[in-house]
Every structure is written in structure tokens, then in C-alpha cells.
Amino acid sequence: MKLVSFGNPGMERVGVVNERGIVDVTRIDPSLPATMRDVLAQQFIDRIETIADDADDEFILDPDSVRLGPPVTNPSKIICVGLNYRDHAAEQGKEPPEFPLLFSKGPNVLCGHGDTVPYPAGVEQFDYEAEMAVVIGKVAYQVPQDTAFEFIAGYMAFNDLTARDLQYRERQWFRAKSVDGGGPSGPWLVTSDEIEDPHALDISLKVNGEELQSSNTREMTFTTDFLVHYISQTMTLEPGDIIATGTPPGVGVHRRPQRFLQRGDRITTVIERLGALTVTIG
């Protein structure tokens, strides 16, 4: 099932994408939670699927007629993993890390498919990072790796936009990684039952139609189930939390010559079976 949060920023509501369009499930049943985080927390996925399957045509929207926001609009945490693709480490002449390199992004980074990301003031090296993100489906604390998939609600495309000059100038990455709009996600959340193996998906990124990143999630050093296990040993993961699992090679800072984003650039992140996520730099 493909789950979306659609509508104007700050007013998004949950819908389901199927062959007919977007099913406005909360209009059918106003008692449903308004946010994806609450839908996951209250375990309403099966109920929403039933509602969507039985929906009358009057509750079906044309996807082109509405804004698709970030599937999860209000996560308690956005956790990112650095240097998690072996081929990304190799392009830098580095060995894969022994343990996951974790950092965070602020919730102000979230934006959706088709949105415009403002070019950050004072930045000259604005970079892209195509990533697959995991969304947590239920409270996870000290989860064994062999049961970790049970805590994953689904997967989506993500872009870890980064101000490289800030990243390399400052000791901490938080400001460089948390520019407004610097975490596009979507266009939808694909539930985990639809993805047999999240570690066998092609992932790529294009800027203005030119492919700059191309790899496969099998290149990840630390798999999604391991990451849920590892992070949850000391940190409770909540429904709706986002784990961005790292980027493949080809980011702008490591290209020769370097290539950074400019105003007007159109960036599309494509992940097999998860869809294509496009934003424009404004």
C-alpha cells in the first residue's frame, strides 16, 4: 500500500494511493487520525486499507490536483547514517566504518514531492544525497535484529540535502544538515509488506535530467534491520520516526570537478518500487 500526506503545508491529511487515484480516507471516516504518525501509533493501517479498497468514486482525488507533502509530517526524530554505502566510501578512498555513523536533521527540513527548497542564505556548496528512508511503525526499544523488520512500517525516498561549506567548517553537522527544506521525502510511504527485500533496490538521482548517482541498496554496509536494532539499544524509536540510511556515490562534493546545486535545479530521487521524488531549488 502507498500512503501519502496530502494538502497544503501544515494542513496535510492521510490518503492512500491506488490505481484510481488518492483515496481521501479521513473524509470517508473523520474519526481517523489526521497525521501519519498517529495512524502508525494507533495501528490503523489495516483499517485504512479496508476503507481505501471500498471507497466510492466521490472520495477519489486526482494526484495531480493536490500537493503531496512529506509522508510523515511530524516525526519525533530524523536519524541519518553517514558513509553507509560501500561504493560511496570507495569514491572517497575510505574503508566502510566499523559502526554506524549517526547524525540528525531537524524537522524543519521536511518537504514533499513537487515542493521548492529555498537555497540557504550564505551557502555556496549546496549538495544532494539520494537515500532510502525507513519509517518506524511501532515503539522500538532494545529490539533484537532478528525481529527488527516487525518494527518497520515502510520505506520511502529521501534526499539529505547538505550545505557542504558549513559541514566542513563546523565541528558539528547539525546546521549543515538542517537547512529549511533540506529533507525532501516521498512521494509516498510504501508499506513494508510490499517490499520483499529492501536491500535489493536500484537507487539513483538526476539533476535537470542528468543522472549523477546510481547504485543499489545492496551496497549498504549496515542493513535496515541492523540499524533499527543498533539505534534502539540506547534510544526509543517512536512510530513515525525516520531513519535515512545513507547515500551512494556521485554526490557533488566528490565529483571531479565538483558540482553543487544552483537555484532553479530540478532534483529527482528514484528508488525502485518506492517511486520518484522531485523538488526544485528556489
pLDDT tens digits, one per residue of 199-229: 999 999 999 999 999 999 999 999 999 999 9
At 261, which amino acid appears? L
Q: Kindly state the average pLDDT of the residues 171-182.
A: 96
Q: How many whole angstroms separate alpha carbon 145 and alpha carbon 137?
A: 16
Q: Mean pLDDT for the chain?
A: 97
Q: What is the pLDDT of residues 37-91, one digit of tens each?
A: 999 999 999 999 999 999 999 999 999 999 999 999 999 999 999 999 999 989 9
- Note the pLDDT of residue 144: 98
Q: Rounded to 5, what percent of the chain is helix, strand, coil?
A: 25, 35, 45
- Note the pLDDT of residue 84: 98
Q: Kindly state the average pLDDT of the residues 269-275.
A: 98
Is residue 152 helix, strand or coil?
A: strand
Q: How many whole angstroms separate alpha carbon 160 and alpha carbon 180?
A: 12
Q: How many whole angstroms separate alpha carbon 3 and alpha carbon 26?
A: 12
The CATH class of 78-281 is alpha beta
Cα angle 78-83-86, degrees, rounded to a multiple of 5: 130
- Note the pLDDT of residue 51: 97
Q: Give the pLDDT band of residue 171 (cuts 50, 70, 90).
A: confident
DSSP H or E stretch at residue 174: helix 174-177
**β pairing state of 13-18 and 2-6:** antiparallel
CB 48 within 8 A of CB 17: no
Cis amide leading into 257 (omega within 30): yes
Q: Kindly state the average pLDDT of the residues 153-165.
A: 98
Domain extent listing, the chain:
2-65, 78-281
State the pTM of this model. Answer: 0.98
- Note the pLDDT of residue 64: 93
**β pairing state of 78-82 and 242-244:** parallel
Cβ-count burial 133-160 (b if 16+ within 10 Å, e if not): bbbbbeebeebeeeebbebbbbbbbbbb
| Diameter over CA atoms, the chain | 56
Q: Kindly state the average pLDDT of the residues 1-12.
A: 98
Q: Detail the DSSP E strand segments found in 11-62.
A: 13-18, 21-23, 60-61
